[in-house]
Structure 1
């Protein structure tokens, strides 16, 4: 009987030993599942605002909406409204400027940005400033450049871009380079 008990004890202990060598689902090392982001998690709202008052009044409102195609690549659209009034003595000029743009940004080295953009702007233009006659024209601009993006915490950031207009013309309101400061808020 003593031999039987010893034999039974050895079988039970070996069963525990064999069981200890197999992995169950709960024992497997857990890999962090790649988080599936829904569309709101990939949206970035941003833009810029600018204003100047005096002999020249300038108000610029430029919202943007972007979509993170990947961790490093953002595609987006932007709108722009500018109110411009020049009250220089002897010269009165006022116009409303509207624009829309498509842009792409590639993020590299953590905080640096490569930026490309196409913009279509509709603006007032006076061929003869002494007559104060204003006609509406469309101006096409292609911007390339880069900049820096600094985190504000969470999904918020500020950015500073230096852009060059490759389609500069007499009708373009921009000077080269164009320096832009903006912000973004991700969801």
Structure 2
């Protein structure tokens, strides 16, 4: 399976996950009572089953048309561990292509995975604002078309920051995340292209 086929497969998976999340409704909505839906239990106080605490989705990243062209996807599976805590895992894949005459024709394939924790730390003042920490590993592969020369590098990064989540349903929301890469200064050579800045901004849906 080449990189284009992998990209199309991940895009299809992400689209299916987002559609699933959008169709998920609260089983017994408390909004009629002027209260937000419970995240880990029924209105009667019974714990929700494991499957009903899962959240599926992801995002689109590295979006650029023209020269260079770049597009990536980042599927996510998250779990509502408590009323205020979310844990999850995710993957990412980004394809970037530089073309002549402005650049040496070069192709980059960047892929990796991450684990994250989100904690709603001041719900009485700013509901849906989470402290966010994650560990991410990324690999980038470079190929220069004219010479066939290849190079690759990997980097593990610790990122901390905040996420604001706008709920759409109990199991789906729109998330704006701002993170700081704690070991950005350790980046060197090809690995520096993974993060062009110590600051990382993301828009995701889960």
- TM-score past 0.5 threshold: yes
Task: For residue 35 of structure 1, give the secondary structure of its aligned residue in structure 2.
Answer: coil
Task: For residue 55 of structure 1, give the secondary structure of its aligned residue in structure 2.
Answer: coil
Asked whether the 8 Å contact 1:78–1:100 carries over to 2, the reply is yes
- Structure 2 counterpart of 1:163, from 179, 183, 201: 179
Q: Is residue 35 of structure 1 aligned with residue 46 of structure 2? A: yes
Q: Is residue 94 of structure 1 aligned with residue 110 of structure 2? A: no
Change beyond 3 A, Cα 1:125–1:141: farther
Change beyond 3 A, Cα 1:88–1:152: farther
**What's the counterpart of residue 9 of structure 1?**
none
Question: Whose Rg is larger?
Answer: 1
**What's the counterpart of residue 84 of structure 1?**
96
Task: For residue 41 of structure 1, give the secondary structure of its aligned residue in structure 2.
Answer: helix
Asked whether the 8 Å contact 2:54–2:171 carries over to 1, the reply is no
- Kindly indicate whether structure 1 or structure 2 has the higher relative contact order, using CA contacts under 8 Å at least 6 residues apart: 2
Asked whether the 8 Å contact 2:135–2:158 carries over to 1, the reply is yes
From the two aligned structures, give the one with the greater helix fraction.
Answer: 2
Cα distance in 2 for residues equivalent to 1:125 and 1:158: 33
- Please report how far the alpha carbon of residue 131 of structure 1 lies from its aligned counterpart in structure 2 after TM superposition: 6.4
Cα distance in 2 for residues equivalent to 1:119 and 1:150: 24
From the two aligned structures, give the one with the greater strand fraction.
Answer: 1
- Structure 1 counterpart of 2:130, from 113, 119, 122: 113
Which TM-score applies when normalising by structure 2?
0.67
Task: Give unpaired runs (5+ residues) of structure 2.
Answer: 1-42
Number of residue equivalences: 152
**What's the counterpart of residue 146 of structure 1?**
162
**What's the counterpart of residue 8 of structure 1?**
none
Change beyond 3 A, Cα 1:143–1:34: same
Change beyond 3 A, Cα 1:72–1:95: same
